[in-house]
Chains A and B, each alone.
Chain A
């Protein structure tokens, strides 16, 4: 995909502005490091962003930290703890974390102008910063509004070794000795997951998964993770079902860094087994066109998260002009203004109430979806995100509140 391909969607001036910024970063080497090459929002964004940065003349690179099951178990604990769930970090956990950091440090080439670390998994690599003398940025993609203090105190001294940190929502910002920036993530309107699809493709996907095109479809697309509350979605659906005959689809997969997924999936299947109108799909991480089609086929999209890094599936659904009902957590309120570009809820009962209301008020639901699409166009597309990152790289080279270039 080339930058010019985005012009029909975002307008020429947006792409022109990006080229203007990129001119000041020509030839810089920016190395991104995260924990998985496929699956999950971070890998998805990086896979689109790296080629576009290269097209703009920035030498963007992407490396993945390698680790075994014990390492990913402990980083899952970190992830849960950052979301505020108490976790026991043992000495063995610490060893698994640091052994993996050291093993990766021995193999990775970190001689870039800027090292851009995503999430806690590779955060410890910063240990080598003082030897290299380059700039390091830590990008936190998770909701850290209420981190579990013990784990936060393990991570904080690491984070404070960085030159800058980036969070996705205002409520995630922390008291830190280093500068913080607020950059919302984004979706790519031209990716398989978001590009326009013909009705024939959508119908064929429904047929393949045995979903009726004739009955309203309520969908949540999410990893099978307790923090996404798939069981709560089933409960909300059951409250609505006696009034509106609809189907529920829970679609998701487990990313390679999420060992808990299978357990949650089993629980969801058990709760759903007696209802033929509940469809539970475990999709491989490459099922982007399928997810796109399922979102487009949906009458209403739900994202009933209890905690959320940002909740990009909300922007994905809004971009398809779908009415969305979502938990008012993490970055979701940035994407939805309640009753204007979607619905924000706090409880299972509230979700059920609005689900019923929107299923029975299609005109109102349609308006929510239309407003949502415009909001996403202006604030949550890849082009804005990429530009923010370029400005971030520039800000490390040009300190000050007003930078004239």
Chain B
């Protein structure tokens, strides 16, 4: 029992869950409108875009790479997919398949340069971000799409029920949000490719020596990120009921912050879906709660930034504290090590 507690305490998720819980309790007591079905509905719907992207980025970080081009990918996919839907009137399942597929293809471009040219992923994705986004705005002249398929207006809802004057249900955003996280968790935990991704992120040289197919793995990783970006873009378009090609780019660093808050390491090999969910929930709950408390929306960024800074500093301090503890107890551990 004591051991389990100790193991738990050394985990980032544990602390994050505690802080998140504290935050929820705090807002529940101070802001009556916070702990309501309506607000939960808003929280999930409004933040679905960011959340879905987190489910993709965690895979890239675990693989030891980084990607910031996904907002540009999402912009391109959103524009292309909605244009196609307007032209050919496809239903939303086909729309999602097309969006995901197109995103995946764009994502694999990153993998190609990362593996075949051995350029670091941060540089590749800075480049592809500019290429995708630049070409999109160049070709579309930055014009909006104001007509969207009819079923966008009706919304996609299941299990609808009436509460007060509003009706609630499970909407497209929630389905895609939970679906992405479940899919990512399944891939990472239960499939060979997921375990290979962890291994490659943990020690790329060893992965190479053991004959992992590094190129195929990276194609999957960046392709999956692109796929997720495509899915997220549809969730966003359906919510906004229009397509503005310039609104998505610029959000990539927020997604990165959420995933890293959730405990993923920029060095690769480390990170969990649970941590990611907690990380992104934490940021979203904080912003949502503060606004309900009456903080003007324009101060949102400052508070978020402050929290990120405190969180990263605290986790760095905790890391060095654990190092010191390890030294003090090392003799004991070595004696107790299994033979």
Whether both chains belong to one complex is answered with no
**A-side interface residues toward B, CB under 8 Å?**
none
**B-side interface residues toward A, CB under 8 Å?**
none
